[in-house]
Copies of this chain bind each other. A is one copy, B any other.
Amino acid sequence: MDLAAKLQAAGLRSTPKRLAIARLLFDGEDMHVAADAVARMAAQAGLRVSLATVYNTLNQFVAAGLLRRVNLDSERSYFDTNTASHQHIYVEDEQRLIDIPGGQIRVSGLPALPEGMEVRAVEVMVRVGAPKPTQG
């Protein structure tokens, strides 16, 4: 997996900062991170990169299709290094996202779409947690 080539194939210049951030993100493990976590990871790795560059880079990666943005809550954005079609389980108590491999979940019964529209994405978010005692 040549990251420099991956960047260039996506239409992005292969700069040192981008390469370093890409190395943090695409280390083989699928991950779900927020921008501040990326900045922290970068700092820990001894990389001197400004917060603005972290945001710029993440947004460029999303635009280039290298990352996927996940709308988990309105607090902040999360970025998913797995860009293949797949879904998520969100463990609310632990604030942890778990991937559901693509193709495992089937969504049926979609209604007719408005005239001239096509489906761009079907997002499924399964929110789980310990049973609520107040409900029982």
Contacts and interface: CB of A to CB of B under 8 A. Distances in A.
Q: How many copies does the complex hold?
A: 2
Interface residues of A, number: 40
A56 to B, nearest CB: 16
A119 B123 contact: no
A119 B128 contact: yes
Nearest to A69: B74
Nearest to A117: B128
Contact of A129 (B75, B120, B129): B120
A76 interface: yes
Interface of A: 69, 71-77, 89, 91-92, 98, 100, 104-111, 113-114, 116-132
